[in-house]
A and B are shown apart, each in its own frame.
Chain A
Amino acid sequence: MNMRIAAACVLAVIIPALAYAGAAQKPVLDAYAAQAKAEQAGFAGFSVERGKAFFLAKHDASAETPSCTTCHTNDPTKPGQTRAGKDVAPMAVSKTQDRFTDAEKVEKWFTRNCQSVVGRACTAQEKGDFITFMASL
């Protein structure tokens, strides 16, 4: 019985903490999930692992910005730097809480950076995976 109470206490602490990590990002993520469902029939939710792989991948579209990591570094919990030398706040939601909360801003940067780095528009699944990865850190 005591074990059950202890387990309940642990869950009571952990579950809200997990929910909080992405709570502010939920509206933006929900919108991308709805788009992803419309774009692909078999969409089964976003993935931290896919988001991480996408973030670290080297693309062939641009010599100046071959990867997200060109400016954001390999560690999204650390600040990045633009090619013109300006600091970029960490992408990890735990470090920059208001990341991915302003839908217009999120879409502006995906529009620009997907064209710059990947050479095409990103899919809703790629965007959602990316945000899910950043919210997991």
Chain B
Amino acid sequence: MMPRIFAALGMIACVFGMGFLIMGPVASANPAPDPVYAKECSACHIAYPAQFLPKRSWDRIIGSLDKHFGENATLPPKSLVSIKTYLDGHAADASDPNSRIMREVAASQTPARITEMPFWTHIHGRLLARHAFDAPKVKSASNCSACHRGAATGHFGDDD
């Protein structure tokens, strides 16, 4: 009997621990401090926190805005300068190439979108399997604000 209780407690601790490890750095991603990034990149979706993708991913996204997930999202060069500076300085690997968000991202990989990042799929995998993002009120997994009410200001905790 006792081993079973220990096993159950162990499982619970493990789940909470994993949740903390994964959500810890994510739950309060800083709001976008750069006004140009905040304005231009929030027209169609929230201004996603720079720290959710490595620099190499942002470089690819900024370099292909004419083919941005099925739409043309080109910007004037003057806007791109400050957006790139912000992204370079705050990307997931900007200050630490082994940051928590970068776990399980191979050096050879350049994730094309946040929903490909292991930290994201670990947390949202079950919702994906249940097609929860297809609900009309959600529309897309890109629509963080549908569930995370504080997403637009960088708050992704379950109670935000």
Contact with A along B52-92 (1 / 0, CB 8 A): 00000000000000100111111110000000000000000
What A residues does B70 contact at CB under 8 A? 62-65, 83, 116
Q: Among residues 60 to 86 in chain A, which have CB atoms less than 8 Å away from a CB atom of chain B?
A: 62-65, 81-86
Give A108 Cβ to nearest chain B Cβ, in Å: 7
Report, as a range, how many residues of chain A touch the other chain.
Answer: 10 to 19
Give A4 Cβ to nearest chain B Cβ, in Å: 52
What A residues does B75 contact at CB under 8 A? 108
* Cβ contact within 8 Å between B146 and A85: yes
- Interface residue total, chain B, C-beta cutoff 8 A: 21
Complex CA gap A113/B140 in Å reads 20
* Cβ contact within 8 Å between A84 and B72: no
Contact status of A86 and B45, CB under 8 A, knowing A81-B139, A115-B66: yes
Contact with B along A37-69 (1 / 0, CB 8 A): 000000000000000000000000011110000
* Cβ contact within 8 Å between A84 and B74: no
Q: Among residues 83 to 116 in chain A, which have CB atoms less than 8 Å away from a CB atom of chain B?
A: 83-86, 108, 111-113, 115-116
Contact status of A113 and B46, CB under 8 A, knowing A85-B138, A85-B143: no
What A residues does B44 contact at CB under 8 A? 82-84, 86
Residue in chain A with minimal CB distance to B44: A82
Complex CA gap A42/B110 in Å reads 52
Contact with A along B103-143 (1 / 0, CB 8 A): 00000000000000000000000000000000000111011
* Cβ contact within 8 Å between B45 and A84: yes
Contact status of A64 and B76, CB under 8 A, knowing A83-B44, A84-B44, A85-B140: no
What B residues does A111 contact at CB under 8 A? 72, 74
What A residues does B45 contact at CB under 8 A? 82, 84-86
Residue in chain A with minimal CB distance to B142: A84
Which residue of A82, A85, A86, A112 is within 8 Å of B72 (Cβ)?
A112
* Cβ contact within 8 Å between A84 and B76: no
Contact status of A113 and B72, CB under 8 A, knowing A82-B44, A83-B44: yes
Contact status of A115 and B72, CB under 8 A, knowing A82-B44, A82-B45: yes
Contact status of A112 and B74, CB under 8 A, knowing A82-B44, A85-B143, A86-B44: yes
What A residues does B72 contact at CB under 8 A? 111-113, 115-116
Complex CA gap A81/B73 in Å reads 16
What B residues does A81 contact at CB under 8 A? 139
What B residues does A112 contact at CB under 8 A? 71-74
* Cβ contact within 8 Å between A86 and B71: no
What A residues does B140 contact at CB under 8 A? 83-85
* Cβ contact within 8 Å between B143 and A84: yes
